[in-house]
Amino acid sequence: MFRGFMDIAMEKPHMEYTHLNVKAMLELFEASHLALEGEKMLDDAKVFFAGILKNIISSNSNDKLAKQLAHAMELPLHWRVQWYEVRQHILAHEQEDKPNSILLELAKINFNMVQATHQKDLMGIAR
């Protein structure tokens, strides 16, 4: 999978990337962070896709997709605290052209309820 995608991208270095291609590259970049020591193919894939994704970000700096890519490249998803990524998804959904307002409101309420529970638990532990 990595090799095939890398071969295509090397043959057509200036090809226009669709949203689907960019999503696939980001997923392959994320997967490359799961490499064990000595897995050269995954190390090569990480460097290769990081370069392409950085070029996409720099050429589309104001684009929503570029902002999502920049956030994703800061730290691999499996290294993040998953619950707090929910906030990022809520913010991204708010910026969509036609957000589902009911779903968005429920997500915010749920996030705030869980956050309040975490704060309450922390205060209990701190005592």
The residue among 24, 33, 23, 18 whose CA lies nearest residue 1 is 24
3-class secondary-structure state, position 97: coil
Spatial neighbors of 10 by CB under 8 A, at least 6 apart, are none
What pLDDT digit, counting tens, does each position of 93-111 carry? Answer: 888 888 889 999 999 999 9
Task: Provide the pLDDT for residue 102.
Answer: 94
- What's the mean pLDDT in 76-89? 85
Per the prediction, the chain carries an average pLDDT of 84
List the chain domain ranges.
1-79, 81-127
Is domain 1-79 classified as CATH 1.10.3720.10?
no
Q: What is the pTM of this model?
A: 0.68
Q: 86-122 burial string, b = 16+ CB within 10 Å, else e?
A: beeebeeeeeeeeeeeeeeeebeeebeeeeeeeeeee
Task: Provide the pLDDT for residue 15.
Answer: 60
